[in-house]
Structure 1
């Protein structure tokens, strides 16, 4: 079966073009940002870490109101404005030279990024039928990885030159990529804004939806796989195994290429709450196996055997990642009321900054400090969260009625208006 990266023509392909445009800039940004902030801006690593932690903490709590704004004012216009705001925040990095200015710019960047993610999901929900959303998201994830890989190569060129001008060029590219993203989003048809709130309906209803909060929390636990790949595994390879250090980069490339090539295929059978929870449950089992294999890499095996073990662990990890992604996408849309997709997606998306904020400390404590027992405990945590997802989803379904298409309807609340 051939690898299919491009989504179907129409709105899905335009969404993919927007995804590709800003992921190219982001890929270059990710590999150069640390050196830019230290060498060009003149900040210490402690200042950078503090500012980014504060910024993403603020961003995580603004995704819900910005998602609600997308529901009320229309997701396309909101997404365009937030893409422009993200580009402006990146452009501001070109001129700041103090910690306070950096903190403010980082907060704007995090808020705009979290809001943009929620608005994009609401836009997708308005343009793509429920049965096709997970498949389209799989295509977008493949596109994202392709863009990040190309962008990272561009960033590598800047790192090779290692000059002030090279770093400035990368940040200018990232800012321009969000401007291009906004222009591409304007090619999409407008999505009708949601109707006014029903009588007695809270402005941010998701904050009172306890079942959805539990589902979101479980997903945040499963998203600890993100700092696992970017931080914990590199530290483990270098500090606890006899594998060569270049393997860190190879494992990252393996993950990126695998998602780009196989995410669409992995998501093909996920089309409703039942198949989604099964995918998440399987991901927990595979993550447990992956953690056990990574733990084995510290057994003092010959170097090339250790390399093979680490590659096997990485393969299992990326399989679990693709299964968890497909399942969580489906669940997040299935449980969201049709007229409040933006705020529900904004809330569900808080799992990403939460995992990125709390994950590094938790994972380094478990793996770098505890070693093998930490890996086994982490695998157990992944498994427990994945097994709990099914009962949590069923609880959320009982709290509202779910149609055969998987869309939750909160009668007698009105759905989207045509105005």
Structure 2
């Protein structure tokens, strides 16, 4: 009994704000998981859209996300993280409520764009609020719990989506969409009831320095590195399943087991895997380790194309474990950089800049990785491995450059984030005058 209680306590976030954020993450993920499971069926059977129209809608929405990340970040800095989070969640709720009313392709595209913008705004607001409201030493751990609970909620949502699809009716598909809308609306209301974060002062100097991120070459360089590191997600979700069904003898049901394994690992290990992401040197170590692990996974994936039977299954599941390990370490490092490097008055613009770079990389990653890993017949996996080895080699110098660079916040020159006292708010967050 004591062992059971200990196991449960490890999965339970600390009381107060960390627990509230985790629970809300799970709730929102139930809605998004439900919707995403049946969204394509809803778009085709209820809205009457073609596959080409759906693809064009996703592409336009993606471009809108790239174009609006930076201005949305600036707006989030201006009105505050909590308000941005609430407004974005409310916008998402209204958008999904409007989906069943769509009568044309143009209306679909408009809603897709609005959904992308409101989701981006809500995510930026949540990150800014977490950074503002939590002590420096608790930010990464809080976000780790939130991500663990998000995955649990998403898993439940996919189950609900499957149930909706089983009814094979338009009413069930519409109900699936409206559930997502209702949970987003509830989330918006709950966000407004969270404790207010400390007010970040925006004087004239801070406003002028907000756009200094565009000249912050160390940060931009690191953002590019992190965007390339995000290729691991494309490998896990798109490239590896495609490789498995086209170049190995793996049974198709194994794809579901691969996804389930990833989900279980994230739910149970994200929090402990975040240890060490308490300083910039610690973040650099996690990035380096994560890059090397995926570099190791690439030749294992190639090997799966030459094995048979049980060995193929073992190889593919091994790749999932390795790339998921990268996912866990990389996420923790990313959260530390997001919440502790930017000046407090400019977090939104810094997040927007990183998101713009990441979104731009997302445009090319699926095609590029498919050409390398799939179209080459397997030898391209070694090229992908070399890319991640390059990331591992660049992690220390790039993050070290960020650590040595001073940034301006609220009109005062602030020292770079310290590596010696990472748990001190003053050490990792630029001071205000």
Q: Is the Cα–Cα contact under 8 Å of residues 84 and 124 in structure 2 kept in the other structure?
A: no
Q: Is the Cα–Cα contact under 8 Å of residues 86 and 109 in structure 1 kept in the other structure?
A: yes
Match of 2:66 in 1: 60
Q: Is the Cα–Cα contact under 8 Å of residues 210 and 346 in structure 2 kept in the other structure?
A: no
Aligned-partner Cα distance in 1 for 2:365–2:48 = 27
Shift of 1:108: 0.5
Aligned-partner Cα distance in 2 for 1:255–1:88 = 32
Aligned-partner Cα distance in 2 for 1:351–1:234 = 26
Q: Deviations over 1:90-146 (max 9, x none)?
A: 222111132111111011011111111111111001111111111111111101100
Match of 2:366 in 1: 360
Aligned-partner Cα distance in 2 for 1:351–1:389 = 17
Structure 1 position 237 matched with structure 2 position 244: yes
Residue 99 (structure 1) aligned to one of 76, 80, 105: 105
5+ residue gaps, structure 1, are none
Aligned-partner Cα distance in 2 for 1:177–1:270 = 32
Aligned-partner Cα distance in 2 for 1:71–1:193 = 9
Aligned-partner Cα distance in 2 for 1:72–1:118 = 12
CA RMSD in angstroms, aligned pairs only: 1.8
Match of 1:309 in 2: 315
Q: Deviations over 1:195-248 (max 9, x none)?
A: 133078245332232221111111111111222222212211111100000111
Q: Map of 1:113-152 to 2, 5 A cutoff?
A: 113-152=119-158
Q: Map of 1:242-261 to 2, 5 A cutoff?
A: 242-261=249-268
Shift of 1:340: 1.5
Aligned-partner Cα distance in 2 for 1:5–1:136 = 12
Distance change (3 Å), C-alpha of 1:36 and 1:23: same
Q: Is the Cα–Cα contact under 8 Å of residues 338 and 407 in structure 1 kept in the other structure?
A: no
Q: Is the Cα–Cα contact under 8 Å of residues 295 and 375 in structure 1 kept in the other structure?
A: yes
Distance change (3 Å), C-alpha of 1:15 and 1:194: farther
Match of 1:46 in 2: 52
Shift of 1:154: 0.5
Alignment length, in residue pairs? 411
Match of 1:222 in 2: 229
Q: Is the Cα–Cα contact under 8 Å of residues 134 and 270 in structure 1 kept in the other structure?
A: yes
Match of 2:303 in 1: 296
Q: Look up the SS of the partner of 2:320 in the other structure.
A: helix
Aligned-partner Cα distance in 2 for 1:66–1:200 = 15
Q: Is the Cα–Cα contact under 8 Å of residues 89 and 105 in structure 1 kept in the other structure?
A: yes
Aligned-partner Cα distance in 1 for 2:216–2:202 = 20
With normalisation by structure 1, the TM-score equals 0.93
Q: Is the Cα–Cα contact under 8 Å of residues 145 and 260 in structure 1 kept in the other structure?
A: yes
Residue 430 (structure 2) aligned to one of 394, 404, 409: 409
Q: Deviations over 1:243-300 (max 9, x none)?
A: 000111110111011000000010022210011100110001100111111111000x
Quick check: 166-175 or 393-402, which moved more? 393-402
Q: Deviations over 1:136-181 (max 9, x none)?
A: 1111110110011000110111222222112111111111111111
Structure 1 position 2 matched with structure 2 position 10: no
Aligned-partner Cα distance in 2 for 1:156–1:357 = 29
Q: Is the Cα–Cα contact under 8 Å of residues 90 and 184 in structure 2 kept in the other structure?
A: yes
Shift of 1:24: 0.5
Distance change (3 Å), C-alpha of 1:251 and 1:352: farther
Distance change (3 Å), C-alpha of 1:163 and 1:355: farther
Aligned-partner Cα distance in 2 for 1:186–1:199 = 26
Residue 280 (structure 2) aligned to one of 251, 256, 273: 273
Residue 325 (structure 1) aligned to one of 331, 351, 360: 331
Q: Look up the SS of the partner of 1:409 in the other structure.
A: coil
Q: Map of 1:63-78 to 2, 5 A cutoff?
A: 63-78=69-84
Q: Look up the SS of the partner of 2:23 in the other structure.
A: helix
Aligned-partner Cα distance in 2 for 1:344–1:194 = 17
Aligned-partner Cα distance in 2 for 1:216–1:164 = 43
Tell which has more relative contact order, 1 or 2 (C-alpha 8 A, sep 6+).
Answer: 1
Quick check: 286-295 or 228-237, which moved more? 228-237
Aligned-partner Cα distance in 2 for 1:248–1:378 = 21
With normalisation by structure 2, the TM-score equals 0.90
Match of 1:387 in 2: 393
Aligned-partner Cα distance in 1 for 2:207–2:94 = 38
Aligned-partner Cα distance in 2 for 1:278–1:29 = 37
Aligned-partner Cα distance in 2 for 1:179–1:275 = 38
Q: Is the Cα–Cα contact under 8 Å of residues 210 and 345 in structure 2 kept in the other structure?
A: no
Match of 1:188 in 2: 194
Residue 35 (structure 2) aligned to one of 29, 35, 47: 29
